[in-house]
Structure 1
């Protein structure tokens, strides 16, 4: 005889009460998650605003830094250009005394001396030397300041005396020492005498 075992049906252990408790718990968690989502969105907006401010400040700092770098580069380029252009300034100022003495030597010669055959070659040599010196000055941007007959310019002329004259007051009527410019800078002012109204 075969024994037939009667299967006992397994009862569902989940009770209706347990089911509703689990659903309530899940609902509460969902609400909590939804409730937590709102502050997170606001916090994200605040964070985005802060980042935008920081970005704007960083961009402004970058612009300032770039402008400062350009200014530094321009200043450096100008200093280098000036160094090249005016490197000979001290030497040129020193050599002016040679030009002065040469000019005085030629100015002191009378017409008779210039006509004298014995010293004529010397005079010719001095004149040639003066021309060569002026040519060298010109090649290096050194130019003589015009003076006689011009109004006194304090930027280029230095008045040493007043001389009674029929010229307009302040007009240069005598030059004691020539003045020179090196490019657009004053190398040495011209020392001059200016006219004053006769008493």
Structure 2
């Protein structure tokens, strides 16, 4: 469990640097440049994400179960994951209605993903992982909203509805792929038990 906690702290602190330590972040950028910061940020993000994944895998092996979610919570999680996947796809495209209305579709996708998994899992390691990401998503959304109001962050402006269609098709494809085997291959848990 310690590896999971350390991984979460490192990953989320890095991804919250602009929120909790903007001067430190600016100082690093001043020293190593914007490109150096992006490279360092990407490298650290990947390393910390690997630590979270490994820590979660290790913790899952002997984590206590705090509650046994009813079967219907898995169905709710499956349904919630569809808009999460659509928002994820929309976040990588130019703005359609989905991206323009969600404003920060990647953050929304993370929040929906975390909520869906939080309600369908009762082990301590899962609750720790998903509750942490949900809380981080809420804090990040509030921060981004403030920064947008101050003009620091540019909100997406609608370009074309075709990007909504692409996001829906891509989100449906990813959602279906996860259900049909990718989730089990990546995580070791089948989202649907037949």
TM-score normalised per structure 1: 0.25
More strand by share: 1
Name whichever structure is richer in helix by fraction.
2
Structure label with greater radius of gyration = 1
Q: TM-score, normalised by structure 2?
A: 0.26
More relative contact order in 1 or in 2 (CA 8 Å, sep 6+)?
Answer: 2
